[in-house]
Structure 1
Amino acid sequence: MRVGILSWIIDMERAGIGNFTYNLIRCMLDMGKGDELHLIHYEHSDDEVYSMAHDVLVPRLPSLMKFAVGLPYAVMKSGIDVLHVPSHWYNQLTPFLLNRTKKVLTIHDLVPILLPETHTGITVMTWAPTLRLIAHRIDMIATDSHATKLDCMRHLGIPEERIRVVYCGVDPKYRPLEDREAILKDLEERYGIKKPFVLYVGTLEKRKNIPTLLRALYRLKKSGVCPLLVIAGRRGWKYDDIFDTIHELKLEHDVLFTGYVPEDDLVALYNAADLF
């Protein structure tokens, strides 16, 4: 069976969905599925995964034409039997209009529908209407959880038999490491992190509910327990209330922002943290 995956997101600086997609591809390659795998994206990449599978580039066209014409053309030209779209984006609408290709979509959550105030206006205006438009043209939906499965049934009207819960895996890198003292010394030298500390990993966005975490830290501090809160992740959108809460609660010296952290450093942080 020839399987296509929209892989363009792995060509960017990877966050949650990018890592999900990349590791999905890596696992399929490790299973020996490279000859059956077609990776569809927009720009040439030197990442080794493209040399281990069929590299399918969308034709270079003006922006809107690239999505409306180039993407479905690349899908049809690849001759795939099944297309997997690892996450919904409004600019991936056209492949779902193809009738000869089976389509699988992973839906991680319905936050733009359920909590629109936590997203940008353009996302709310484009994400929900386009998802509703293609919802019944998807042959199978995969969700990360039973909660999202139920949300898809309630809010999109998708029949239960067309939804499968597929839990996300864990990279083997995330395992207990030895010599924690050496790890702590390295983290202190490079990031200024000292024990004890609580670790949060994720993009700074309103939907992540970080102000609640900050208020919990404030209550701990008032009770005499004062760990450092390490926040590892780049800035996304609507994050001003995070910094407003820090200022309001006078936690400027209790929170450390590392920004984007390479994966090997994340493994070290997980191993050294008191809580995450």
Structure 2
Amino acid sequence: MRIGFDATILTRPLTGVGVYTARLVEALARTARFDEVFIFAHKPLFGLSDELPVNIVSKRSPNAHIFVQFILPRLLKEYDIDVLHGPNFYLPLISKTPSVVTVHDLSAQLFPEQHSHKHRLSQKLLRPSLKKADRIIAVSEATARDIEGFWSGVKNKVKIVYNGIDSDFKPASDDKISKIRKQYRLPEKFVLFVGTLEPRKNVARLVEAYSDARDNLDGAKLVIAGGKGWLFDEIFTKVEKLGISDEVLFTGYI
């Protein structure tokens, strides 16, 4: 079987869905003994091992959506792909290739005010993608319920497949811990947040909660690890207004 992946999410530094996609491609490529894995993208890729036994197909395109909707269908036919996985909510709508799509959450539908205008526009592709998909992966029971609540007609196609655990999540050596502490100037004790700095992550509220609770945290600082998304100024303003700049560390994207 020839398995294709829409890998456009891997053309920028990895965050949540990018990590999901990269690790899924890696695991499938290393365990699918009788299958060939093809990954399709419009730019150079991040986050994949150079030694991975996959076929990388790259065709330039102005952006990911144009690539997926107009270039990818032709490539799927050209490379005789048996099934396509869209790991980032969307599928090429004019393709006749059998397909699977992953839905990570419906936050854009449930809380549209927490998303940028650009992201809300791109979400208009979600409903037709779900209608087209042969199978829909929901990463949690909550997401499955949300999908069925918004679009009951696709209920029978939804399967819950939980996210796996990366092999990186294991006790680190003392030497590695020491190097990371020095690299990011980490305090001895800290509360850690990891995620993009944007409204839907509710980081400003986390800062408020930390400020209220810090006297009971035995000296622990707040470490916020993540790149800047959009409307992030409120977070930095909140830290300054509460007078806790010396107790909050921003590491940036890791």
TM-score, normalising length: structure 2 = 0.89
Paired position in structure 2 for 1:124: 120
Between stretches 139-148 and 117-126, larger displacement belongs to 117-126
Is structure 2 residue 175 aligned with structure 1 residue 174? no
1:112-261 matched pairs, under 5 angstroms: 112-127=108-123, 129-179=124-174, 182-183=175-176, 185-223=178-216, 225-261=218-254
8 Å contact kept, 2:184–2:251? yes
Distance 1:44 1:194 in 2: 36
Paired position in structure 2 for 1:39: 39
Paired position in structure 2 for 1:88: 89
1:25–1:66 distance in 2 versus 1, CA, 3 Å: closer
Distance 2:50 2:159 in 1: 27
- SS of 1:28's equivalent in the other structure is helix
1:142–1:253 distance in 2 versus 1, CA, 3 Å: same
Distance 2:81 2:101 in 1: 15
- SS of 1:173's equivalent in the other structure is coil
8 Å contact kept, 1:233–1:258? yes
Distance 1:186 1:81 in 2: 46
- SS of 1:229's equivalent in the other structure is strand
8 Å contact kept, 2:93–2:129? yes
8 Å contact kept, 2:3–2:84? yes
| 1:9-53 per-position Cα deviation (integer Å, ceiling 9, x unaligned) | 223211111111110011012204485211111135595458612
1:27–1:250 distance in 2 versus 1, CA, 3 Å: same
Question: C-alpha displacement at 1:223, in angstroms?
Answer: 4.3
8 Å contact kept, 1:40–1:55? yes
Paired position in structure 1 for 2:8: 8
TM-score, normalising length: structure 1 = 0.82
Q: How many residues align?
A: 252
8 Å contact kept, 1:57–1:74? no
1:35–1:199 distance in 2 versus 1, CA, 3 Å: same
Paired position in structure 2 for 1:273: none
Question: In percent, how many aligned pairs have the same letter?
Answer: 31
Distance 1:203 1:131 in 2: 22
Give the letter aligned to residue 164 of structure 1.
K
| 1:90-146 per-position Cα deviation (integer Å, ceiling 9, x unaligned) | xx5xx23323x111100000111110111101211231x221233211111101100
Distance 1:119 1:97 in 2: 27
Give the letter aligned to residue 108 of structure 2.
P
Query: Which ranges in structure 1 are unaligned for 5 or more consecutive residues?
Result: 262-276
1:66–1:85 distance in 2 versus 1, CA, 3 Å: closer
